Structure 1
Amino acid sequence: MPDIAFWKTGKGKPLVLLPGFGETKEMWQEFVPAISDACEIWCPDLPGIGESSALKQEFSLQDAALVLADWLRLHGIENASLIGHSLGGYIALEMAAKTAAKPKALGFFHSTAFADSPEKRVNRDKTAEFIEKHGAPTFIQSFVAPLFAAKNRETCQAEIEALIRRGSQNSKESLIGYTMAMKNRADHMATLAQFKGNKLMICGEQDPAVPLEASLKHQQAVTAFHQLPDCGHMGMFEKQVESQSIIKDFMQSLAFNR
């Protein structure tokens, strides 16, 4: 089993925060302290990203989910709540659907249960070709800033630079692998609808990666739905206080319902 690098803090009901594409566990460092009094928070690197060891050369999101489910079991937190940013949300759904993990709750932070559209699949191929030709640093440099709403890029400049610095250290093989795994992932709307635990969705009204129109189609399948105004794909930075409050309230509601 690949080694999973992580850090954790807080006490109480376990919450695992899964990063998005090209992101590392350090992305949560400034976000977590405000909610650590409500839960025990685990922040891993995805397999092959950051300091976690790599998967085989060609892998699926289910492969990544199986590794993370084994990691949960190793630490005795199979019933942790899972909140994933973008790609992390896709993997959380795979974990709920096809692994021995039995998450208490699921959360989708600028993510979706839909599979890629035909247009998106074509763009994934273009992304993989770009990474192969130009390498990880050049790709990450062009990729990160546009995820933020235009009006937030100046105020979030330090965060953008940190994401670029850390993301650029990932291997092009892992970035290409996740690009193709996202392209080939299954539609999990049925998984989301059938999941018995509480379900959270946080979306940005100006998200360029997961359009608001698509997010709104999840409203009937989740138990808590929040849309952030003037926000792109990176609400943990663009709307940090609001997002912290939403997640803290969500986790506290789970404790109340236990």
Structure 2
Amino acid sequence: MRNLRRSTSTTMACQDEGTGTPIVLLHGYCGSHRYFEEILPILSAKYRVIVPDLRGHGSSSATEGVYKMEQLADDLDVLLDAMQLSKVFLFGHSLGGYVTLAFAQRHRERLLGYGLLHSTSLPDTGPGKTGRLKAVDQIRTGGISPFVDELIPKLFAKDHRETMKGKINFAKEIGYGTAPQGAIGCALGMRERSDRTNVLEMPDLPVLLLAGEKDDIITPDRRFPILKPKPHLTQVTLKGVGHMGMLEAPQEFADALISFIAANEGSGGA
């Protein structure tokens, strides 16, 4: 892990492996760069892979207050400056997808292409917003561990909740390392995020939309919000997979990213 100082009070940690075209992977809520441990060797054999910990997660610093998606996108912009990377492919899982869309809106010139992995361009629904406040209350009153114990199993396909107990426990251990103020800040930031479907519709960059067939978090009506096929959009559904494709089906997950990059290297945003 490399720790790259963003300011006098905030540090963003990242793992940097491989050589070649740079790709950045952003983890989901109460996750860290370790979510991608199984696919990192596959991807880093072909590309330079940068895997940061978002603010308040993993080894990165936590701050108080609401973590707006725009703020997290700007954190990444500073990280890329520090690493002297002008253009990258950017892929975001769940929360990381919301950050990816904010980055595509604010720092589009830095992208070769991007992807949403088990994520959506749509904002929270009314019940979703209520659920964020419930999460904040749970963390404030009970701490991060009980919240993570309840959250993580729901991220896996129902069929995998018995057969992948080791991976569920692995994801829980990662979640326990999330700073409570980071989990609270991100929950409030996700609650406030705007509809960015218009960003997906912009045809100047290639976009990957990767979904899990059995994902109970990103339901079918929210996975592919652009109903008409568009030349710049690639849609992939992983069969039998829930919200955690990088753990539930790592080879298929990595293959989808590799296929997308290979099809668009040297074209999107170049």
Q: Normalising by structure 1, what TM-score?
A: 0.94
* 1:27 paired residue number: 35
Q: 1:56 to 1:98 in 2, by over 3 A?
A: farther
* 1:137 paired residue number: 145
| Distance in 1, Cα, partners of 2:191 & 2:147 | 18
Deviations 1:152-209 (A, max 9, x none): 1233222211111121121211101100100000110011111511100110111111
* 1:238 paired residue number: 248
Cα shift at 1:146: 1.2
Say which of 174, 179, 183 aligns to 1:166: 174
* Contact 1:203 1:227 (8 Å CA) reproduced: yes
Cα shift at 1:5: 0.6
Displacement over 6 Å in runs of 4+: none
Cα shift at 1:101: 5.6
* Contact 1:86 1:109 (8 Å CA) reproduced: yes
Say whether residues 1:252 and 2:259 are aligned partners.
Answer: no
- One-letter identity of the residue aligned with 2:254: Q
Cα shift at 1:29: 1.2
* Number of aligned positions between the proteins: 258
* 2:235 paired residue number: 225
Percent identical residues? 27
Matches within 5 A, 1:111-122: 111-122=119-130
Greater displacement, 105-114 / 119-128: 119-128
| Distance in 2, Cα, partners of 1:99 & 1:246 | 24
Unaligned 5+ runs, structure 2: 1-6
Cα shift at 1:244: 1.2
| Distance in 2, Cα, partners of 1:83 & 1:10 | 17
* Contact 1:95 1:101 (8 Å CA) reproduced: no
Greater displacement, 15-24 / 4-13: 4-13
Say which of 83, 97, 101 aligns to 2:105: 97
Say whether residues 1:215 and 2:223 are aligned partners.
Answer: yes
Greater displacement, 67-76 / 93-102: 93-102
* Contact 1:144 1:164 (8 Å CA) reproduced: yes
Q: Normalising by structure 2, what TM-score?
A: 0.90
* 2:78 paired residue number: 70
Unaligned 5+ runs, structure 1: none
